[in-house]
Structure 1
Amino acid sequence: MKNGYRLSAATGLHKGDRAYQQDQVALWAHPRVAGCVMGVVADGMGGRTGGRKASDQVLMTARQLFDHYAPESNDAPQLLRQMGLQAHLVIKLTAIAAEQEPHSTMAAFLVQPGGQCHWVHTGDSRLYHFRGNTLMRRTKDQSFVQSLVDKGELTEEEAAGNPRSNVLVSCLGTEADPTLEVDGTPRLHVGDSLLACSDGLWHYFTTQELGMVLHSLPPRDASQFLVEKARSRAMGHGDNLSLAIVKIEPLADGKPAGATATAAAATTRH
């Protein structure tokens, strides 16, 4: 991205047809370094208050660590792992104090100045990286049905409709330590998009559909479209859903290279 770029971003959140909201989503520009942005999605589980407490803890932990993060340290993978481990510990302590069983998934990405990007996930919240409308990378769900897909016992299409599709083999707050998968790309390109989202969103779309929407629409419009389409396809049985989008766009006239997502960020909340 020798000629400069800007980050355009948006988030979306909807409680679906549930009685209460347990998903949480956030998108932050670094408080001191332009061009450094973090997005986090957390899908809480454990009853009305337990699940929300868990997802809240994920976001609070992520924000605290991100605010103290030094982008020049090149320790993004370590930061992301630390986010997961600390949130996991705090959620477990919350469970002891409240006599509840709060758990949460997590999918988070960190864009560095210059375009380097890393992400982390646990559970079945996903991170997608598209170049144009082409999928470059996608996290693999840590779920029971994904293990069946890996064994060749189910296709991806069959897994989506399996009644045990919500059974996870790893998440935050469980007795066992979570599996925190960290990955990334050494350089994002103009035209790339990142999407972090909970299963309440991705369940209703093919990868090809997501790629086309992110490629064709600016993040704010894409967020609104995906929320509305997911709600329509759920036909009154939708889960909580959350998403965070960042798109790498050409540098507009008069805007500094590596502009943060602050001015371009928009939120769709229902």
Structure 2
Amino acid sequence: MSQYKIEAGTGQHIGDRHEQQDRVGLFAAPHAPGYMMAVVADGMGGKSGGALAAEQVVRTAKQLFDEFYPGNDVQQLLENILNEAHTIIKLTAVSSEKEPHSTFVALVITPQQEAIWAHAGDSRLYRFSGPNFSEKTRDHSYVERLVDEGKILPEEAKTHKLSNILINVLGSTNVSPSISVGKYVNLKVGDSFLLCTDGLWHYFENTELSAAVAANTPRQASELLIRKARDRGTPRGDNCTFAIIKLIEPPPEVKNYTAEKIRRAV
């Protein structure tokens, strides 16, 4: 019996924008029991263009995960999703005369108690241990580079006038996207993950996110986080999209048999 049960959910709000350009998905692998995937994409590129790009990321992720088998390389799967989605988004730009782009963040949980993730852009993955923040991905953004170079402080990044400039996205016609990969092993009850677009993380501290996820079911946490994000972001709140994955105690085994007295054969 599994050492934990996976409890997951998604949340989404259009914010104060005219269109929802984020997409999110939770998938099981039909040929690989025990594997699950969460993926979040933040589309950019004007009216409908960003939505098309983000939709393509999620659609590509599902298609390739449907073809995944035990023994296949998870990191290679994530890289294939990024590269194929990037190529199709570029082709969409040619046919639609738009300039669609998208971020990408995905997580795969395996039956071997592993969590493997990858991202491009500024959509993030957070990992929590119980109520404690453990780690998060590093944004592929201009302000993050300024932080790395010591030109601004981390707390200045959120309010910097160039905070929306990304240096690594899917769909760019100038440069192919790069992928950052992370891994955590020996998963246990109490571990949890949050994948989200900047329309959520921009309004919260790490400790607030970890506390909200730990103290609630994914659905309850989604309602709480959306409500808080709207309170803090109105009237200029961005699209807000996220997925929550929690590892909880498995239900007790239920006996589905009855014992009867054995009669002596004559």
Q: What is the TM-score of this pair, normalised by structure 2?
A: 0.92
Question: Equivalences for 1:112-191 in 2 at 5 Å?
Answer: 112-175=110-173, 176-191=175-190
Is 1:90 matched up with 2:88? Answer: yes
**Which residue of the partner structure matches residue 57 of structure 2?**
58
Is 1:106 matched up with 2:96? Answer: no
- Contact 2:192–2:246, Cα closer than 8 Å, also in 1: yes
**Which residue of the partner structure matches residue 264 of structure 2?**
none
Cα deviation for residue 3 of structure 1 reads: 6.3
| Counterpart-to-counterpart distance in 2, 1:100 and 1:68 | 30
| Counterpart-to-counterpart distance in 1, 2:88 and 2:201 | 28
Cα deviation for residue 55 of structure 1 reads: 0.4
Q: Counterpart of 1:188 in structure 2: which amino acid?
A: L
| Counterpart-to-counterpart distance in 2, 1:4 and 1:217 | 20
**Which residue of the partner structure matches residue 244 of structure 1?**
243
**Deviations 1:65-119 (Å, cap 9, x if unpaired)?**
000101x214000000110000000000000111110000011101111321110
Q: Counterpart of 1:88 in structure 2: which amino acid?
A: H
- Contact 1:131–1:189, Cα closer than 8 Å, also in 2: no
**Which residue of the partner structure matches residue 258 of structure 2?**
none
**Which residue of the partner structure matches residue 44 of structure 2?**
45
Q: Counterpart of 2:151 in structure 1: which amino acid?
A: E
Question: Equivalences for 1:71-86 in 2 at 5 Å?
Answer: 72-86=70-84
**Deviations 1:94-149 (Å, cap 9, x if unpaired)?**
00111110000011101111321110100000001111122222110000010111
User: What is the alpha-carbon root mean square deviation over aligned residues?
Assistant: 1.3
| Counterpart-to-counterpart distance in 1, 2:34 and 2:253 | 16
| Counterpart-to-counterpart distance in 2, 1:115 and 1:67 | 20
Is 1:5 matched up with 2:8? Answer: no
The 10-residue stretch of structure 1 (202-211 or 29-38) with the greater mean CA deviation from structure 2: 29-38
Specify the structure having the higher radius of gyration (Cα). Answer: 2
| Counterpart-to-counterpart distance in 2, 1:163 and 1:127 | 24
SS at match of 1:47: coil
Q: What is the TM-score of this pair, normalised by structure 1?
A: 0.91
| Counterpart-to-counterpart distance in 1, 2:209 and 2:118 | 20
- Contact 2:32–2:68, Cα closer than 8 Å, also in 1: no
Cα deviation for residue 188 of structure 1 reads: 1.5
Unaligned runs of 5+ in 2: 255-266
How many residue pairs are counted as aligned between the two chains?
253
Unaligned runs of 5+ in 1: 256-270
| Counterpart-to-counterpart distance in 2, 1:161 and 1:59 | 30
Q: Counterpart of 2:88 in structure 1: which amino acid?
A: V
Does 1 or 2 have the higher relative contact order (CA < 8 Å, sep 6+)? 1
**Deviations 1:238-270 (Å, cap 9, x if unpaired)?**
000100010000111247xxxxxxxxxxxxxxx
